[in-house]
A and B are shown apart, each in its own frame.
Chain A
């Protein structure tokens, strides 16, 4: 049933076992309260088998499930100036960064990779909500620019999975400047005649929604994802009335013409393969479980989905 083939299962399992297994064998679904064995949940792409609630899907896990054979190559993102404003609230920004890196095992809030999906070469970027709310600062901007440049260089479609609470406040105006910067990245793709697909995942808000997440050729969202510019609480405070059920959720946006599709995570990969292939004028897709592309091997550390990023202190 599951399209993560047995071929890659060891990779993915080792990934989860390293990160989550020791202290967290069971996860309680926040929607329906069902206790779920973590492996069961991971095999189900982090979707609750009893109520279909779509939980957060970390970029590395998402990519392992997205790319053929779970194999992808990370695209290097230029490192921005650290703490450009010397920002301090109750904590110093560098301390918050260190804590986020320790908690997530990632260097920053976006992962960029190239690989194949259904034998279709693509570049993909995914935002990590667990890293400071996925917030968009210089790094995320650089990541999107790097993704677009790589896609143009390789003449491939770009798929972005958005997830963010908004801008990285600790980078002040420079986080705001990522709106025009990422818009330039989108323009590069459009001028190169390459498809740009946005998958809006829960939650996509603020400056992220108001820039690259709303400039796609095709907008797909996962069910019930919150997608907005201003958050529901801010709106309720402003207009002093209760908002309707489902307001700013994916299905609501679909009804209001802002999305092309709302797609269950289990069907997303096939749909992305179909759409990108049709837009690129390629033949019908090869569906189902696929091994890694020729020339890559599972044990190859540099190309392994589970390869640790530099400075990763997880485990």
Chain B
């Protein structure tokens, strides 16, 4: 069962019709619908291409948040071996919205850390919809520190609406935890590779994504504020999220042009949600390439380059 986004409705109708035809054909031997169904398929396929070739920023937000997109958990399961989760911040709790642990990528031990949103009601609640509390950032700090001491590259998979705006989270120092996580990202003497796989929501994302390489999936987003939040502040109307999404320049393509993102990882036709294997494979090759680019650099060089990269950021605008 395919979940359709609002702007995919015309597509849903055609694909639905094709499906119906095939179902009818299965229940009666005499019907021959092959030609008709194939025609509908072709029409749907063309429409899919057209839609995804020119997604608006707001449509990209919807795709980036698509419930069927592979999440951190799926990437870890598919791309890494011997994944050994490590839990807890050694202070207060284990935050289930952040996954992390030792794993092998192509045989090489690495530390993988990421936000996990969950995939059904139960797991979404357990994962707090991918919104970390201070414990999540502090767990990430601990794991980055561990990786740095033992020379393991760090791979972060970013997919969060943002840090959790809750009472306890604030009391336990949400700001400090995020600040320290960003600081730790800048300190580790190992390659730090960040991949934004869905939503890169504000400070909650940057705390994991201050990397030597930052890659984004083709239809993922990365922003200082959600389009809805921005619309309600600047337009005084949350319904203006389309305009806000446009103005914020939150797409992978704009961010690449701004120099905030190093690499865009292509998604299959119709987005990551339509072909998991394909997107998992693209991420695998991108990760292989990025690790290779960084593997021979000394700890000092990795730290220096990372700093310089961020200090330089923003020195040219979109127009340049």
Contacts and interface: CB of A to CB of B under 8 A. Distances in A.
Interface of A: 80-81, 83-90, 138, 141, 145, 167, 169, 171-177, 179-181, 183-184, 186-187, 206-207, 209-215, 227-230, 234-235, 238-239, 241, 243, 247-248, 256-258
B166 A83 contact: no
Contact of A257 (B173, B174, B202, B249): B173
Given A167-B225, A174-B314, A228-B170, 10 more contacts: A84-B318, A167-B224, A174-B258, A183-B210, A206-B203, A209-B175, A211-B203, A215-B183, A230-B163, A230-B166
B307 interface: yes
Interface stretch (B5-13, B17-25, B110-118, B230-238): B230-238
Which of B172, B247, B260 has the most C-beta atoms of chain A within 10 angstroms of its own C-beta?
A: B247
B102 interface: no
Contacts of A176: 202-203, 206, 223-224
Given A84-B258, A186-B183, A234 B165 contact: yes
Interface residues of B, number: 54
Contacts of A209: 175, 179
Contacts of A84: 258, 314, 316-319
A244 to B, nearest CB: 8
Nearest to A241: B167
Given A84-B314, A235-B167, A183 B174 contact: no
Contact of A169 (B171, B225, B255, B317): B225
Given A173-B255, A239-B166, A258-B176, A89 B182 contact: no
B320 interface: yes
Given A175-B224, A180-B310, A89 B171 contact: no
Contact of B247 (A88, A175, A238, A258): A88
B27 interface: no
Interface in B228-246: 230, 233-235, 243-244
B65 to A, nearest CB: 17
A173 B230 CA distance: 12
Q: Is the interface of B mostly helix, strand, loop or mixed?
A: helix
Contacts of A230: 163, 165-166, 169-170, 174
B224 A169 contact: yes
B258 A81 contact: no
Contact of A172 (B163, B173, B224): B224
Contact of B170 (A173, A241, A248): A248
24 contacts: A84-B258, A89-B244, A167-B225, A169-B233, A171-B224, A172-B224, A173-B258, A176-B206, A176-B223, A179-B206, A180-B186, A180-B206, A184-B311, A207-B203, A210-B175, A210-B207, A214-B176, A228-B170, A230-B165, A234-B165, A238-B166, A247-B170, A256-B173, A258-B176
Per CB-CB distance, the 3 closest pairs between chain A and chain B, nearest first, are A84-B317, A230-B165, A209-B175
Contacts of A235: 165-167, 170
Contacts of A214: 173, 175-176, 179-180
Nearest to A238: B165
Interface string B147-169: 00000000000000001111101
Contact of B318 (A86, A213, A238): A86
Which of A169, A227, A257 has the most C-beta atoms of chain B within 10 angstroms of its own C-beta?
A: A169
Contacts of B314: 80-81, 84, 138, 141, 171, 174, 177, 181
